[in-house]
Amino acid sequence: MTCDRNENRILNNNNHKSFFCFSLFVFFSSILKADPNWCRSPHLPNGEVSCRSPRGGAHRGLLGTRCEMTCDRGYRLLGRTSIQCLANRLWSGSAYCRRVRCHVLPLIPQGRYFCTQSFFVDSRCEFTCRPGYRIEGEHSRTCLHRGSWSGVQPECSDTDPPKIRCPPSRLKVAEPGKLTARVSWDPPAATDTADKYLNVVLVDQQPGSEFKEGLHVIRYKVYDQARNRAACKFIVRVEVRRCPELPPPLHGYLICSSDGNNYGAECEYLCDGGYERKGASSRVCQFNRSWSGGPAECVPMQFKFSVQTVGALLDQFYEKRRLLIMSAPNISDPDYQLQNIMIQKSDCGLDLRHVTVVELLGSPPRETGRIKENLLQPDVIEGLRQAFRISRFYFSLVLLDKLGIDRERFIVPVSSEELFSYIDSFLMEEEERERLVLHRDFCD
Ligand SMILES: *[C@@H]1O[C@H](CO)[C@@H](O)[C@H](O)[C@H]1NC(C)=O
Ligand SMILES: *[C@@H]1O[C@H](CO)[C@@H](O)[C@H](O)[C@H]1NC(C)=O
C-alpha cells in the first residue's frame, strides 16, 4: 500500500484505506518529530552553540531545531552563524572557530620584546631596550580581538649621556729661565652604555704644550653616536717662582736675563765709568726664591799715578777708561786756554763716557804732566809723547780708546759737544750707549 498526500482528498471514496494512510503518516510524523537525536547534537570547538528547538526545552537535535553559532573570544567564526536540523538528519550548514592571530611584530633596533601569549588575541608584548637606550613611545602593544595590534611600534633611542672623568688639577712651576711650563696629562677616559666609539673633544690647549703663568681651565667634551653630551674640566696652574727684585748697586746697574727675577734668571753687576766691581759678577734666582751669592759693589777705580813707565800707567786704564791727552807748549798757549774753557764743567760728561784727561805742558826741564792734581813722572811724560807722537811745540789733543789705541787727533780746540759726539758715535759699544742714554740727564 502506498500513501500520498492526495489521499485526504479521496477520503470520501475510499474511506477506510484513506484513514489508515492518514493515521500512519501522523503516527510516523509524530515519532520523527519527537526524536531528540534526529540531528547529531551540534558541536563547536572554541565556540558556543545556542539552540531553540520547536518544542522548547534543552533538545538540541530535534528536527527543525535552529542553532546560533558564536566563537569564544580570540576566535573567528568561519561558516554559518545559524544552522537548522533538517529532515535528512543533517544540519543545514557547518561552522568552525579559527583562532585569531595578529601579525608577527617586527623587531625594533637596539631592543626586543616579550609577549604573554605569542601573537594571539589579548597577548601583551612588552618592549625593552638594550642598556643605554630608552623606550620612546608606548612600552607595550596588545593583540586586539580583530587581529590588529594596539598602538604603534616604539623606538629605542640612546638618551643616556656618556661619562667622562678628567685628570686631577695640577700645579706646575715654570722651568728655569722661562715664564712657561710644559704640562702633560693622560687624556680622560670616556665611557657610554650604548656606544663603544666616542668622540672626545679637547676644547683648549693640548697636553704637552707650553702653558703661560696663571690658571688654565682645560675642558673636555664627549659625544656619543646619538649626540648625547658630557663634559669635564680641570685646572692647570703655572707658577713662576720669583726672587725679590734685586736692587742695582750704587754707581752701577744690573743686566738681567729672562724676566729679571724669575727662577733661573741671572743678573750681572755692571759699574758706571770710574767705578769697578767688587764681588761676584752675577747672581742667579734659585728655586727657593733666593738669590745665589751676595751683592757686588761698585767702588771708585783706584789708579797709581806715581808709576815709573808709560806701560805701568796705561795698563791700569786698559779696558776701563779712555784717555784724552791734551798737550801745549806752555800754560799761556791760547789754544790750550780756549780748550780749557770749552771743556770746563764737562767733567760729568767725560766721566759718563769713561774719559780721563791727561795734560802735558811745556818742555824740559820745566815740563809737567798730570791727571787732575796727580803729577806724572818725567819718564812717563816722555813715554806718552813718543808712543803717540805728541809734539811739545804746538797744541794737540789725542783721544785713546779703552784698548789704548789712538783713535783721533785734533790740532785745534774742540767743543765738548763735538768731542762727545765723536766718542758716542765711534767709540761706544751698544750697551754703553744705552746706559749713556739712560743717564744723559744726570749731568745737567
Ligand atoms: C736656597 O737654596 C740654596 C741651594 O739651592 C741654599 O744654599 C740656600 O740656603 C737656600 N736659601 C733659603 C733661603 O732657603
Ligand atoms: C809760550 O809759548 C809761546 C808759543 O806757543 C811763546 O811765544 C811764549 O813765549 C811762551 N811763553 C812762555 C812764558 O814761555
95 shares its domain with 203: no
Among the bound ligands, name the one nearest to the CA of residue 288. 1
Structural domain contains residue 106 = no
Q: Could you tell me how many residues make up the chain?
A: 444
Three-state SS annotation for the chain = CCCCHHHHCCCCCCHHHHHHHHHHHHHHHHHHHHCCCCCCCCCCCCEEEEEECCCCCCCCCCCCCEEEEEECCCEEEEECCEEEECCCCCECCCEEEEECECCCCCCCCCEEEEEEEEEECCCEEEEEECCCCEEECCCEEEECCCCCECCCCCEEECCCCCEEECCCCEEEECCCCCCEEEECCCCCEEECCCCCCCEEEECCCCCCEEEECEEEEEEEEEECCCCCEEEEEEEEEEECCECCCCCCCCCEEEEECCCCCECCCEEEEEECCCEEEECCCEEEECCCCCECCCCCEEEECCCCCCCCCHHHHHHHHCCCCEEEEEEECCCCCHHHHHHHHHHCCCHHHHHHCCEEEEEEECCCCCCEEEECCEECCHHHHHHHHHHHCCCCCCCEEEEECCCCCEEEEECCCCCHHHHHHHHHHHCCCHHHHHHHHHHHHHHC
Structural domain contains residue 32 = yes
Which pTM does this prediction carry? 0.55
In angstroms, the CA 380 to CA 192 distance is 94
Mean pLDDT computed over every residue of the chain: 89
194 shares its domain with 139: no
Structural domain contains residue 246 = no
Copy the grid coordinates of residue 277: 766691581
The whole-number pLDDT of residue 373 equals: 92
Of the pLDDT bands very low, low, confident and very high (cuts 50, 70, 90), residue 29 is low
Q: What is the pLDDT of residues 105-138, one digit of tens each?
A: 999 999 999 999 999 999 999 999 998 889 999 9
127 shares its domain with 182: no
Structural domain contains residue 64 = yes
Of the pLDDT bands very low, low, confident and very high (cuts 50, 70, 90), residue 61 is confident
Residue 332 Cβ contacting ligand 2 at under 6 Å: yes
Q: What is the mean pLDDT of residues 165-192?
A: 93
271 shares its domain with 324: no
Structural domain contains residue 305 = no
Contact 69, 82 (CB under 8 A): yes
409 shares its domain with 354: yes
**CATH number where 191 lies:** 2.60.40
198 shares its domain with 116: no
**CATH number where 121 lies:** 2.10.70.10
Residue 333 Cβ contacting ligand 2 at under 6 Å: yes
Instruction: List, chain by chain if needed, residues with CB within 6 Å of any ligand 1 atom.
Output: 286, 288, 290
183 shares its domain with 138: no
Structural domain contains residue 350 = yes
What is the residue range of 65's domain?
Answer: 5-99
Copy the grid coordinates of residue 378: 818725567
213 shares its domain with 193: yes
Structural domain contains residue 59 = yes
Q: What is the pLDDT of residues 266-317, one digit of tens each?
A: 999 998 877 889 999 999 999 999 999 999 999 988 899 999 999 999 999 9
Question: Above 50 in pLDDT, residue 396?
Answer: yes
Structural domain contains residue 428 = yes
Among the bound ligands, name the one nearest to the CA of residue 294. 1
Of ligand 2's listed atoms, the one at least distance from the Cα of 328 is 5
Q: What are phi and psi of 180, to 5 degrees?
A: -130, 165
288 shares its domain with 269: yes
262 shares its domain with 223: no
| CA of 362 relative to ligand 2 center, distance in Å | 9
144 shares its domain with 176: no
Question: Above 90 in pLDDT, residue 440?
Answer: no
| CA of 440 relative to ligand 2 center, distance in Å | 39
Cα angle 227, 229, 230 (rounded to 5 degrees) comes to 160
Among the bound ligands, name the one nearest to the CA of residue 333. 2
Domain count, the chain: 5
- The b/e string for 412-427 (b: 16+ C-beta within 10 A; e otherwise) is ebbebeebbeebeeeb
